[in-house]
């Protein structure tokens, strides 16, 4: 059965922030490795490149808040092409806290915000970044 996932089990953190034990399973959700961060510093459990936005979508978006609504729509469509990966992420989130690690400077308008809401099964009225 599809048990609900507590929102507190899926958190977001920039790759440049210090890892903490409370992060639980740390999962890099970017296609590219964060600049200037060593593997030891990142302290990741998983790197799921295929769940990141396509290069074309990432380039088109360019972290322009004016394109945020359309980016969310397009990225959700891309995520729908990865049902097994989403299923695995939901399973991890049911088992305990997962931290979606990303490198974007904008903490409100980035793919990890969209991915978190998809994992939690939230509709897309505005993709609120809340933790």
pLDDT in tens, 2-47: 578 999 999 999 999 999 999 999 999 999 999 999 999 999 999 9
HSE-up of residue 31 (Cα within 13 Å, Cβ side): 12
For tokens 């409370």, what's the residue? 22
Using alpha carbons, select from 30, 84, 86, 88 the residue that is nearest to residue 57. Answer: 30
SS3 65: helix
First to last CA, the chain: 25
Q: What is the pLDDT of residue 78?
A: 98
Does 127 fall in a domain?
no
> Residue 51 has what DSSP assignment?
G
Average pLDDT of the segment spanning 111-120: 97
User: What are the tokens at 58?
Assistant: 């990432």
Does 21 fall in a domain?
yes
User: What are the tokens at 103?
Assistant: 């490198």
CB-based contacts of 30-34 (< 8 A; 24+ apart in sequence): 30/101, 30/102, 30/103, 30/111, 31/55, 31/58, 32/103, 34/103
Total number of domains constituting the chain: 1
Does 126 fall in a domain?
no
Question: Does the pLDDT at position 62 exceed 70?
Answer: yes
Domain with 24 in it: 7-119
| Mean pLDDT over each residue of the chain, to the nearest integer | 93
Does 27 fall in a domain?
yes
Cα separation, 110 vs 33, in Å, equals 16
Does 131 fall in a domain?
no
> Residue 94 has what DSSP assignment?
H
Does 66 fall in a domain?
yes
Please say whether the beta carbons of 61 and 67 come within 8 A.
Answer: yes
């Amino acid at each position: 059965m599809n048990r609900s996932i507590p929102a507190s089990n899926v958190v977001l953190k920039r790759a440049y922030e210090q890892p903490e034990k409370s992060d639980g399973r740390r999962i890099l959700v970017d296609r590219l490795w964060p600049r200037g961060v060593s593997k030891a510093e990142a302290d990741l459990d998983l790197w799921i490149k295929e769940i990141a936005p396509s290069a074309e979508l990432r380039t088109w978006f360019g972290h322009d808040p004016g394109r945020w609504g359309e980016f969310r729509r397009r990225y959700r469509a891309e995520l729908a092409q990865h049902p097994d990966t989403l299923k695995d992420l939901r399973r991890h989130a049911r088992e305990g806290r997962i931290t979606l690690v990303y490198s974007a400077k904008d903490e409100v308008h980035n793919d990890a915000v969209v991915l978190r809401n998809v994992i939690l099964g939230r509709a897309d009225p505005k993709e609120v970044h809340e933790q």
